[in-house]
Chains A and B, each alone.
Chain A
Amino acid sequence: MGLKIVTVLVRFLEGMFVVGAIGSFVVLVLSGIEDLKMLLGREEEENHS
């Protein structure tokens, strides 16, 4: 029973880590493209939301 709870908790943490890692990679790519545009001077104006 104890091991089952631990397993569920561990799987939950693993899932959170994997989802987060994939999303963070997307953040890295998108912000990288934006940075590249800024460095090349193509950004017309700063992104105001």
Chain B
Amino acid sequence: MSSPFQPTSPSNRVRIVVATSVMLTFISYWRAAAIVLNDLASSAFYACGIAEQAVGKSAPWFIVAVMLFSFAVRAVYVESCSMFVRGGVYRVVKEALGGTLAKLSVSALMFDYILTGPISGVSAGQYIVGLINEAFITADVHGWIPRAVHNLFNGTPQLNVNATSVVFALAVTIYYWWENTKGIQESSEKALRVMQITTVMVVILLAWSALTLYKSGYQRVPLPTPDNLHFSKESLGFLRHSFPEQSLAKMFGLLGILIAFGHSVLAMSGEESLAQVNRELAHPKLKNLKRAAIVIAIYSFVFTGLSALLSVMLIPDAVRVPVYKDNLISGLAMYMWGPQILRLIFRGFVVVVGFLILSGAVNTAIIGSNGVLNRVSEDGVLADWFRFPHRKYGTSHRIINLIVVLQILTILASRGDVYVLGEAYAFGVIWSFTFNSLSMLVLRFKYKGERGWKVPPNFTIAGIEMPIGLISVFFVLLSTALVNLATKSVATVAGVSFSVVFFVIFTVSEHVNRKKHALAKEQMKDHFQLLQSDTVDRDSLGIRPGNVLVPVRDYNTLNHLRWVLEHSESREQDVVVMTARISQFGSAAYGLSSEQIFSDYEQTLFTRAVSVAESVGKKISLLVVPARDAWSAIAQTAHNLDSSAVACGLSSKMTTAEQAFALGSAWEAIPEPKRQFVLQIVQPDGIVDTFRIGPHTPTMKNEDVVLLHRLWLNITREPGLENVHHHDILTEALTRFAHDYGARDREDIVKELRRHGAVGEPLPVRRIADQIHTVQPGAPRPDPDAGNRDDGPPNPKGGGSE
């Protein structure tokens, strides 16, 4: 056996195919819109409250203006996504302005992402604590609070709103830290459900508000003119030292409007998510992207824009800012027309929806930051150390830890003040948009290739196309970003410091990585032949159909690879060792570029895999597949490679049945036509559990076979039925069952199956992948013609797949 680092001749180098396309399961535009809205619509819960504290009672008009402007910003994102399917700020800025500005823009984007968590968590806390305190007041009015409790609090019990919100935000952040460390699956289904519930709330809110306007009247929202702007000291930032605050708006009339607009831009935070879901949109991509963008634009305009206007129209001035500034939609619920109990119930509903959408945004923030940092790490601008997978769960836990520590520090530093968080948050939002639009503008002149769509209008003057629309959007974003630098002192200091620190980390990491990877590349040259392939297929790997796919992740647990190699005949069957590089939500927006560096970890993993193969004396093919989800990657790769078997190790967090179910579900998501295969799970003690993935002849219990045979005996005695076969009886029985299930007896059948499921093995596993039987280590190889007996990788000519 040769040592992994002995020089090897070029012809003996092991070929590694790195797939450059992320394996994704595609989603409809409704689901894509739901994912984006989970982030974007969450700002409706706090944006207007923050804006009104900064600029006064005319704030809702600025929120409406920002929501209208967001239609134009969205157009810029649609153009960038039509150019780069793997769009997003980092990719676009890198293409247009180079690596340095790309690192700077990613630093601003990270500031945006990191702050999304704290602001959403604290805001959710404000809504919940607001409701609890309101419930205490109502209970006290009715005399339901015991006297002892009353005395303890010297009156009505009230929680400290900011402190309790901090505790709540910390709890939610820590919860999602743990979920992400374990490897939570981003579900578009969950996002869709949350948006459906939110839509119910929005419809009730708008309808009830209309009734209230009709029954109780409303107060006027002052027009957004300089005279109606009332800036607080905080909202003038550095300018408060230079100008008398009240005359500023009059001195520079339009500047006042611009300052107010800048204080409202956080209402459109979350647009970047559109670029991130683009890769996962189903065909036709551009059309679906546009549809998703329309849904997002209209929804966010109606929800965020109208709820902002209604809150000022319906909530009296005396309580709107003093009491409800941080939970404005709750305040709106409390000032509807109708009985108090109904208003309280609706407020409870608002809080539940707020909790769902805002805590979801905390999760999105962690996933998005993790995705972006993973992406820049893959590009060599963050040390490989950060990407080292968790020993048990395989997630990039060091990046997750870094993000969550920064978020926790932000929550503690904010002391539960949503206004401070919102002001800072706007820095990341506006600068990442500005970088993106500038890059798209530069690319109009730099990149002459095909575009799916262009932001209108465009005029050609003297043969040069003038992108009037793009220039306009860039002008608004740049002027707002520059004014915000002066008026948002907290955001400027925090945002610039954060961005500079991240920029320095990226630059130093890149420098260190360049040296380190030069050495690693030399070693790689000796041992591996790195090939990049856009798609995963047999030709790129040079393998035959009926191969065995062996997914690997932890280089300490390669027993299953050894087992496969010992039980397979390499002359007949190829063995492909595959590792899935998980690109979570966020980094799925970016593909792996040609200059991407093969990570230290993957090199070690494959070096160990090659050592195992050498020790057995067999050849293996190596494959790296980027994917959003490991199970989808395995199922799709097995499908693309025409594998007859997949051999896995035992998961540290799932049972063998659960692993089979996960792979079976991923297989179900692959479009037809698709090939069935066998899943073998090799446990550390050498026991192998075998499952068939896809439709197959079920393993029948002995009593079922006896029953079938008795029925056959009886039926063939009937006149004219002498030639009936066993399978005819099964066909008749299944047809009747399907008819009953589809019609009258569905409930009974479901109840009965549930009862069986409760006493037998879990039904979902039975439905998708039936366990055949367990073999002991060292059992003899099966006869290829024996069909269902499995104690080694199925032979391509044998009964591996039915």
Contacts and interface: CB of A to CB of B under 8 A. Distances in A.
B479 A27 contact: no
A31 B479 contact: no
A24 B472 contact: yes
Contacts of A18: 254
Contacts of B474: 20
B469 A35 contact: no
A24 B72 contact: yes
Interface string A16-36: 111111111111101110110
B475 A26 contact: no
Interface size class of B (residues with CB under 8 A): 35 or more
B472 A22 contact: yes
Contact of B480 (A17, A47, A48): A17
Given A14-B254, A35-B294, A46-B287, A24 B457 contact: no
Nearest to B73: A24
Nearest to B286: A46
Contacts of A20: 471-477, 479
A47 B286 CA distance: 10
A27 B255 contact: no
Interface size class of A (residues with CB under 8 A): 20 to 34
Interface stretch (B117-125, B448-456, B584-592): B448-456
Contacts of B482: 13
Contact of A19 (B68, B258, B450, B472): B472
B452 A16 contact: no
A47 B78 CA distance: 13
B13 interface: no
A38 B69 CA distance: 21
A27 B469 contact: yes
A40 interface: no
A42 B594 CA distance: 40
A21 B477 CA distance: 10
A40 B116 CA distance: 36
B252 interface: yes
Contact of B71 (A14, A32, A49): A32
B55 to A, nearest CB: 15
Contacts of A34: 456
B433 to A, nearest CB: 12
A5 B476 CA distance: 21
Interface string B507-541: 00000000000000000000000000000000000
B476 A48 contact: no
B550 interface: no
A19 to B, nearest CB: 6
B291 A17 contact: no
Contacts of B254: 14, 17-18
B762 to A, nearest CB: 44
Interface string B438-480: 0000000000001111111100000000001101111111111
B258 A30 contact: no
A39 interface: yes
Contacts of B472: 19-24, 26-27
Contact of A30 (B69, B261, B286, B456): B456
A16 B475 contact: yes
Contact of B252 (A14, A27, A47): A14
B75 interface: yes
B290 interface: yes
A27 B72 contact: yes
A12 to B, nearest CB: 9
Contacts of B479: 13-14, 16-17, 20
A23 B456 contact: no
Given A10-B252, A24-B472, A31 B286 contact: no
A37 B469 CA distance: 19
Given A18-B254, A32-B71, 16 more contacts: A17-B254, A23-B468, A23-B473, A25-B68, A28-B68, A28-B71, A28-B72, A30-B456, A30-B457, A38-B291, A46-B284, A46-B452, A47-B452, A47-B454, A48-B450, A49-B454
10 contacts: A17-B476, A18-B254, A26-B468, A27-B469, A27-B472, A31-B71, A38-B287, A46-B284, A48-B450, A48-B451
Interface of B: 68-69, 71-72, 75, 252, 254-255, 257-258, 261, 284, 286-287, 290-291, 294, 450-457, 468-469, 471-480, 482-483
